[in-house]
Chains A and B, each alone.
Chain A
Amino acid sequence: MIVEIGHFALVLAFALSLVLSIVPIVGARIGDQRLMAVAEPASFAILGLIALSFAALTVAYVQSDFSVANVWENSHSLKPMLYKITGVWGNHEGSMLLWILILAAFGGLVALFGSNLPATLRANVLAVQGMIAAAFLLFVLASSNPFARISPPPIEGRDLNPILQDIGLAIHPPLLYLGYVGFSICFSFAVAALIEGRIDAAWARWVRPWTLAAWAALTGGIAMGSYWAYYELGWGGWWFWDPVENASFLPWLSGTALLHSAIVMEKRSALKIWTVLLAILTFSLSLLGTFLVRSGVLTSVHAFATDPTRGVFILMILIVFIGGSLALFAFRASTLTSGGLFQPISREGGLVLNNLFLTTAAATVLIGTLWPLLVEAVTGEKVSVGAPFFNMTFGPLIVPLLLAVPFGPLLAWKRGDLYAASQRLFVAFALALLIGLVTLFMIDRISVVAAFGVAVAFWLVFGALTDLALKAGIGKASPSVMFRRFVGLPRSVFGTALAHAGLGLTTLGIVAVSTLEVERIAVMQPGDTLDVAGYELRFDGLVPFDGPNFTEEQGRFTYSDRSGRERGEVVSSKRFYPARQMPTTEAGITSHGFSQLYVALGDRAPDGGIVVRAWWKPQVLFIWIGCIFMMVGGGVSLLDRRLRVGAPAAKRSKPARAVEVAT
């Protein structure tokens, strides 16, 4: 019965989301407070119903109820409990349900914290949120129902794709969806503002925290996905420019632009058009990502779905929402009043430059991702736009932006002084240059690219530190005053510095790994040794091992450093999952500081040895540590008190009093 209650809750949530998408908008239109007030209880109820539905599906997974087709297709009674639970969203239907659950949760949060929003704006935002929920609930019910039943029930399930049987599945999709779906709030705000035809000051204050939260989650989701691919695929790569990866990277790029654009809008009421357009584009790119992954147009481990009706359905959702919102934008954009003026050299100007670079970079990635699909659709030929295309176009676009980042926070609003900012950044510049030269002469005499990249990375880190030091008043005040000022700085200043420094750390990791990595491939017999960047790797042999739902051969290695001292053991294995008849490679990884030794087993060679691939990955962990910095930066910014606008006091206050304060 629990399964059917979950199914009914989903249907009821759909009916309710239809009401939510129509009634409050009508209320806002005709000025009926009661109709507008429907939005909050409806949002809460939808959240409750979808949570109930999700819980019912989870129970079916935990109990291995194979009368539910979705459980039968993606679970196995012997699977460890963790993977039974994560398996709920490790498949098409379940992951769509998770998507909708997070959407409903965001709607519930707006309803909960929205008391300080103007009533019509709140009603419209929740209604747009309801429309998105209605579209996706209809999609799930019509073409991907996770509660479809089979009778008689099979006795054993078909197991989850082995690559997905990993702790990564517990973290990556929920984080990624928090990011994707979080941008739906920005989208709803943008569309609501366009429906009303006006954007007031509260709008930007409201959009910014949501953007921050979604952006931080998306950053974490992408980083987690990257690390997962790194250790699970056993290929040693951390980013493949795979269409599915690009699908998550695109909203990140435009979301980053949105984040910065919203600052200007909040502080200066400028860049309204930019902000609204970016809000629409970011969520549109999230939807596009969902379409690319869910429709099965891409052949990849992520594309569980191969049913064309689903593709067409999502494409229709895509056209309605993107087309509709852009049409509304074209129709209404001219009514948005322009805000404060500014000089080209100013904080605003810097942020516009940032937007330009980021949107161009997003456009490049978008073209690279969609081009093969377009060509295949038109000519039927399969072409590939590989990593070289992205490295050649994305790289040159992003380097100038990285160089410009430290200047941004040092420029004043309205009109800035580039020369003064350069002077203040001199120390950071000199230190970065010095580190670049040290890299060139001490570590790698050949690679100028490595030295330049490392210098850019440290330029970003020192630039961020410079900003903090200057704001604390370095050189102008005594240490105790400086400390007091430092502690008292707004959280958003720390957030900015953390995120920009994180960007530098990620750059450092990427540059170090791409230019200084060492890779070895060899056929090894037990007792053989392999030299990897000064470490000696000895193959001790293969040991069979039985897991709960797999068998594996563990390749055991011992490694020692230059002096011959043993440093530890690495175990890399080849697994076989009988239920799906699928092999996987489990890489053996050990960390030394921020560098890693990475060992992956290949196939058996004709002479009885086994192919071993080993890498020395210098400073590789900085790639993800930088992302954590960015996430934390986003979180710290979120705590800034200026993002908490109070609701107007219940007793009517006179506008005149505020004018007095202002003048």
Chain B
Amino acid sequence: MLFWIVAAAMTFAVCLLLLTPLARERAGVRNSREHELEVYKDQLREIDRDRARGLIEDGEAEMARAEIGRKVIRLSEGDGEETGTASSRALGRWVGAIAVLSLPLVSWGLYAATGSPDYPGQPLQARLDRDPSQQSPEELIARAEAHLAANPGDARGWDVLAPIYLRLGRFDDAAGAFANAIRLDEPTPARLAGQGEALTAAANGRVSEEAQALFSQALDIEPGNIRGRYFIALASAQAGDQQAAERVWRQMLSDLPDESPWHGVIAQAMNGTAEPSEGANDQAEMIEGMVASLATRLEANHDDVDGWQQLIRSYMVLDRQDDAQDALDRARNAYGAGSPEAGHLAAYGLSLGLNVED
């Protein structure tokens, strides 16, 4: 409501501002000839000043004065300004009235189409200070984060936050939160396995060596830890030992109570990892194709530093060091020795262990 009052007041003020000159009768307005005359007078004064300072010679000053004098005479020969006729005055009144009316119509019409008048501002601090029962999950997390940023030694806080991060898909944050809890308090199986799971999720499901170490540590403390057993088995499946993995998983299926959500997870894993991996060759071919097209594109258009870096890096990844070296040399030549781009590429090549001597 307050918004509408303010908006109405603004519109009214602006309309009033336009009405004032429209309503006032103007008299004695100076015409443009007087303005020109004023300029000429000023120019004459300037000539006198310049002459007094010795910036121009007598002759020059005389010439300039004569020139301005001629302009003044020409000016006085012109006729006077036309003044408004009765019909033009009527037209003027109409134009003025339409202009003032158009202001509220255009502004309110346009604002109604684009604005969100009922949506209050949401300053971050005010949102975080609100009663927790009214806050959204994101706001609650942000609140917890703010609390932990101020009290980084609160291991319990990290314990609460870590699984939430994991559920929201913020895997790196989750791994960091578990690690903090371990560092501040003690390595419990839940924290260790949690960090391992977060790392695995962050690596798109691949169980890294670091994660494996965490799961093993969890199993050392609590041999029956479900997460630990499941992921260690997954790791062996990923390493190619499908039978060992399935042995553990089958054992787990019989150990676990029927209502455990892990049944589904394990069944899925047993189906998923059983498929032999296909398309590895296709993928390699696709990468080669992309690198070749990038090389062709750069052949046609040299001016793309990022493109060159990508090409050189791709060659290095594909273990084609000679091609990488060749691409680097061509790129540096294309930009010319001494150009900033060539220097930048040389530094980049050097970081990959390429030769940048000329």
* A237 interface residue per 8 A CB criterion: yes
Contact of A383 among B110, B126, B301 (CB under 8 A): B301
The digit string for A337-378, where 1 denotes a CB below 8 A from any CB of B, is: 000100000000000000000000000000000000000000
* A393 interface residue per 8 A CB criterion: no
Please judge, given known A-B contacts A1-B2, A30-B84, A155-B141, whether A611 and B76 are in contact too, CB under 8 Å: no
Contact of B39 among A1, A156, A202, A606 (CB under 8 A): A202
Name the residue of chain A whose CB is nearest to the CB of B42.
A645
Instruction: Please give, as numbers and ranges, the residues of chain B lying within 8 Å of A9 by CB-CB distance.
Output: 10
* A565 interface residue per 8 A CB criterion: no
Contact of B30 among A15, A152, A648 (CB under 8 A): A648
CA distance A2 to B34 in the complex (A): 48
Please judge, given known A-B contacts A384-B303, A648-B34, whether A521 and B26 are in contact too, CB under 8 Å: no
Q: How far is the CB of B102 from chain A (nearest CB, A)?
A: 7
Name the residue of chain B whose CB is nearest to the CB of A5.
B6
* B138 interface residue per 8 A CB criterion: yes
CA distance A661 to B2 in the complex (A): 64
* B250 interface residue per 8 A CB criterion: no
Instruction: Please give, as numbers and ranges, the residues of chain A lying within 8 Å of B141 by CB-CB distance.
Output: 155
Instruction: Please give, as numbers and ranges, the residues of chain A lying within 8 Å of B125 by CB-CB distance.
Output: 63-64
CA distance A499 to B347 in the complex (A): 39
Instruction: Please give, as numbers and ranges, the residues of chain B lying within 8 Å of A171 by CB-CB distance.
Output: none
Name the residue of chain B whose CB is nearest to the CB of A2.
B121
Q: How far is the CB of B26 from chain A (nearest CB, A)?
A: 4
Contact B83 A384 (CB under 8 A): no
* B239 interface residue per 8 A CB criterion: no
Name the residue of chain A whose CB is nearest to the CB of B82.
A31
Q: What's the interface size class on A, roughly?
A: 35 or more
Contact B114 A18 (CB under 8 A): no
CA distance A38 to B92 in the complex (A): 12
Contact A386 B303 (CB under 8 A): yes
Contact A15 B107 (CB under 8 A): yes
* B24 interface residue per 8 A CB criterion: yes
Instruction: Please give, as numbers and ranges, the residues of chain A lying within 8 Å of B336 by CB-CB distance.
Output: 387-388
Contact B3 A37 (CB under 8 A): no
Contact B32 A8 (CB under 8 A): no
**Which candidate, B14-22, B208-216, B224-232, is the interface stretch facing chain A?**
B14-22
Instruction: Please give, as numbers and ranges, the residues of chain A lying within 8 Å of B20 by CB-CB distance.
Output: 41
**Which candidate, B153-161, B180-188, B199-207, B338-346, is the interface stretch facing chain A?**
B338-346
Contact of A642 among B46, B120, B352 (CB under 8 A): B46
CA distance A64 to B124 in the complex (A): 5
Contact A521 B350 (CB under 8 A): yes
Please judge, given known A-B contacts A201-B39, A642-B42, A645-B42, whether A236 and B73 are in contact too, CB under 8 Å: no
CA distance A387 to B340 in the complex (A): 10
Contact A646 B110 (CB under 8 A): no
* A26 interface residue per 8 A CB criterion: yes
A-contacting residues, B13-51, CB 8 Å: 14, 17-18, 20-26, 28-44, 46, 49-50
A-contacting residues, B110-154, CB 8 Å: 110-111, 114-117, 119-127, 136, 138-139, 141-142
Contact A118 B32 (CB under 8 A): yes
Name the residue of chain B whose CB is nearest to the CB of A385.
B303
**Which candidate, B64-72, B189-197, B274-282, is the interface stretch facing chain A?**
B64-72
Interface size in chain B (residues, C-beta < 8 A): 110
**Which candidate, B53-61, B241-249, B263-271, B323-331, is the interface stretch facing chain A?**
B53-61
* A534 interface residue per 8 A CB criterion: no
A/B pair count, beta carbons within 8 Å: 308
B-contacting residues, A13-62, CB 8 Å: 14-16, 18-19, 22-23, 26-27, 30-35, 37-38, 40-42, 44-45, 49, 60
Q: How far is the CB of A262 from chain B (nearest CB, A)?
A: 14
Name the residue of chain B whose CB is nearest to the CB of A646.
B38
CA distance A661 to B76 in the complex (A): 15
Contact A1 B347 (CB under 8 A): no
Contact of B3 among A1, A66, A141, A488 (CB under 8 A): A1
* B103 interface residue per 8 A CB criterion: yes
Contact A41 B17 (CB under 8 A): yes
Instruction: Please give, as numbers and ranges, the residues of chain A lying within 8 Å of B46 by CB-CB distance.
Output: 642
CA distance A1 to B1 in the complex (A): 10
Contact B18 A659 (CB under 8 A): no
Contact B38 A8 (CB under 8 A): no
Contact B69 A521 (CB under 8 A): no
Contact A519 B343 (CB under 8 A): yes
CA distance A413 to B54 in the complex (A): 15
Q: How far is the CB of B15 from chain A (nearest CB, A)?
A: 10
Contact B107 A45 (CB under 8 A): no
Contact A662 B65 (CB under 8 A): yes
Q: How far is the CB of A538 from chain B (nearest CB, A)?
A: 19
Contact B18 A34 (CB under 8 A): no
Instruction: Please give, as numbers and ranges, the residues of chain A lying within 8 Å of B315 by CB-CB distance.
Output: none
* A655 interface residue per 8 A CB criterion: yes
B-contacting residues, A118-139, CB 8 Å: 118-121
Contact B24 A153 (CB under 8 A): no
Instruction: Please give, as numbers and ranges, the residues of chain B lying within 8 Å of A519 by CB-CB distance.
Output: 338, 343
A-B contact pairs, 8 of them (CB 8 A): A15-B110, A38-B22, A65-B124, A118-B30, A236-B343, A485-B53, A489-B55, A602-B348
4 extra interchain contacts, Cβ-Cβ under 8 A, other than A30-B84, A30-B88, A384-B302? A31-B88, A523-B351, A650-B28, A656-B76
Q: Which A residues are within 8 Å of any B CB, using their own CB?
A: 1-5, 7-9, 11-12, 14-16, 18-19, 22-23, 26-27, 30-35, 37-38, 40-42, 44-45, 49, 60, 63-67, 77, 116-121, 141, 145, 147, 149, 151-156, 200-202, 205, 235-237, 240, 269, 340, 381-384, 386-388, 412-414, 471, 473, 485, 488-490, 493, 519, 521-523, 600, 602-607, 610-611, 613, 642, 645-648, 650, 652-653, 655-656, 658-659, 661-663
Which 10 pairs of residues, A with B, have the shortest CB-CB distance?
A384-B303, A662-B69, A118-B32, A237-B340, A603-B351, A63-B123, A32-B92, A37-B21, A15-B106, A64-B124
